Amino acid sequence: MTAPGFVIHHLDHGRAALAAAAGRPVVLISPAAAAGYQGIGWWQALVGALRAEYPDAAFTAVLDCADCPGWALAALRNGVEGVLLTGDGPAFDAVREIAEQKGAWGEGRWGNDALDLLGASDPGISCREHGHRMWEQVR
């Protein structure tokens, strides 16, 4: 992963990650399967609020679509900039190809070393510590 990843569950998690980044690139990832249970609109609203609040922040927003190619396809059609999708088969391959064409596919780049902020007692400290470890690795 070239930029630290953070699994964010709400706006304050996103704020903590972006504040810790202080202008460095990060990847903000939705919770697992969020496309299905929180929805594409929820993710777009959360990302939109963060982009408005941090207009100069360098971040990639990735919606986890679990093993549901239909969710991923709907997300891509609705302008989501990055998707995570697990599984295989013809539908998976078709969605992967569409996502790759849009630059929205990141298998192996997103999620592997991401810090899940669920339950973090102080998300700001957790983000700073995780970010610094990851930024040190890319030097």
Is residue 69 predicted with pLDDT exceeding 50?
Answer: yes
**Residue-wise pLDDT tens digits, 76-88:** 999 999 999 888 8
CB neighbours (10 Å) of residue 45? 12
Between CA 54 and CA 38 the distance in angstroms is 23
Task: Name the pLDDT band for 28 (thresholds 50, 70, 90).
Answer: very high
- Count structural domains, the chain: 1
Give residue for tokens 């007692």: 121
- HSE value, Cβ hemisphere, 13 Å, CA-based, for 17: 33
C-alpha 64: how far from its chain's center? 7
Are 108 and 26 in contact, with CB atoms under 8 Å apart?
no
The parent domain of residue 105 ranges over: 5-137
- Tell me the CATH number at 94: 3.20.20.70
Question: Rounded to two decimals, what is the model's pTM?
Answer: 0.92
5: three-class secondary structure by DSSP: strand
